[in-house]
């Protein structure tokens, strides 16, 4: 089958480049294509008059883990949060471009961002379980969607899916806030997957966790990608190397006095780490590893 031909050409560094639609980006047929479930075509993203990100085009492969890496302030979290329209909460946020989810542009004015978020779930940097019992945390999304089936089964399924079941099955009705940081994060994952979203966004999910808990989350991500498409942001290059199938490197352009991030290079993780095409990527990866 066509192996990597859906990875778009890396965005060029020159700002003047017109950010071409990838020649093979056959997204417009309404169903998306076989491999990519999300296609980001970001021309520019503003917070007020501040241009935070520009020229970032990439196609996210279904049932794979895609990682965004790059220095602080390069906009990787911002891009991630645009994918389920979390940035809408930020005052002054403006998005110039398109993000297609299964062929539909989620920045179309007809789209309800609340409905988008029910299909594209999110796990945050800081574990943020609600101040309620473990059980109610997991069933939160189900109740929100008026789920009518067997809730008990769903809870067990979601907690098993996030590798937390054995640790909490005896205390489902205790507060989710009483768990350890790593357990809280897995509870948040269980809460996110209980409603079976198609895409799971994970914004530095391990940055507040110790190495053991980090390891568990990473193993979990590899397990979860069989059922979900995962897009993650990480500061930890080793982590990207360990878990990601595809990696996007973003860099922040400070030459013109502004701090605008953009996508430098995107492709299979091995290629990005072993044979980066762009100088910035090479410098960042070597600098970080030496």
Interface positions with another protein (CB under 8 A) = 84, 86, 89, 114-115, 117-118, 121-122, 124, 126, 128-132, 140-141, 144-145, 175, 177, 188, 191-192, 195
State which residue, 195 or 260, has the beta carbon closest to another protein.
Answer: 195
State which residue, 202 or 220, has the beta carbon closest to another protein.
Answer: 202
Give kind and range of the element (H or E) at residue 190. Answer: helix 181-193
Q: Which two tokens stand for residue 89?
A: 């909460």
Question: Are 40 and 58 within 8 A, CB to CB?
Answer: yes
Q: How far is the CB of 194 from another protein (least distance, A)?
A: 10
The single-letter DSSP state of residue 170 is G
Q: How far is the CB of 118 from another protein (least distance, A)?
A: 4
Q: How far is the CB of 62 from another protein (least distance, A)?
A: 21
Burial of 204 (0-12, 13-18, 19+ CB in 10 A): buried
What does the CA dihedral 203, 22, 246, 262 come to, rounded to 10 degrees? Answer: -40
State which residue, 75 or 129, has the beta carbon closest to another protein.
Answer: 129
Return d(Cα 12, Cα 266) in angstroms, integer: 11
Q: How far is the CB of 139 from another protein (least distance, A)?
A: 11
Q: How far is the CB of 229 from another protein (least distance, A)?
A: 16
Q: How far is the CB of 60 from another protein (least distance, A)?
A: 18
Residue-by-residue DSSP string for 213-255: HHHHHHHHHHHHTTTSEEEEE-S-HHHHHHH-SEEEEEEEE-T
State which residue, 77 or 234, has the beta carbon closest to another protein.
Answer: 77
The single-letter DSSP state of residue 15 is T
State which residue, 14 or 148, has the beta carbon closest to another protein.
Answer: 148
State which residue, 52 or 252, has the beta carbon closest to another protein.
Answer: 52
The single-letter DSSP state of residue 84 is T
Return d(Cα 167, Cα 183) in angstroms, integer: 9
């Amino acid at each position: 089958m066509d192996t990597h031909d859906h990875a778009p050409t890396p965005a060029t560094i020159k700002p003047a480049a017109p950010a071409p639609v990838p020649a093979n980006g056959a997204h417009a047929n309404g169903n998306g294509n076989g491999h990519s479930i999300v296609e980001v075509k970001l021309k520019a993203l503003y917070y007020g008059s501040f241009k935070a990100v520009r020229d970032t085009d990439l196609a996210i492969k279904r049932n794979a883990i895609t990682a965004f890496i790059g220095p602080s302030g390069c906009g990787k979290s911002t891009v991630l949060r645009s994918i389920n329209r979390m940035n809408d909460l930020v005052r002054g946020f403006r998005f110039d471009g398109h993000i297609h989810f299964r062929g539909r542009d989620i920045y179309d004015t007809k789209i309800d961002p609340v409905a988008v978020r029910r299909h594209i779930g999110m796990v945050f940097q800081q574990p943020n379980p609600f101040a309620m019992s473990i059980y109610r945390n997991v069933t939160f999304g189900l109740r929100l969607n008026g789920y009518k089936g067997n809730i008990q089964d769903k809870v067990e399924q979601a907690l098993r899916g996030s590798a937390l079941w054995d640790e909490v099955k005896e205390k489902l009705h205790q507060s989710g806030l009483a768990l350890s940081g790593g357990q809280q994060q897995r509870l948040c994952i269980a809460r996110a997957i209980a409603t079976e979203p198609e895409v799971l966004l994970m914004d530095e999910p391990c940055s507040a966790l110790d190495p053991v808990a980090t390891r568990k989350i990473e193993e979990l991500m590899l397990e979860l990608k069989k059922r979900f498409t995962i897009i993650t942001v990480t500061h930890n290059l080793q982590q990207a190397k360990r878990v990601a199938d595809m990696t996007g490197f973003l860099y922040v352009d400070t030459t013109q006095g502004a701090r605008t991030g953009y996508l430098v290079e995107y492709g299979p993780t091995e290629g990005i780490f072993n044979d980066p095409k762009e100088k910035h990527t090479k410098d960042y990866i070597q600098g970080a590893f030496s």
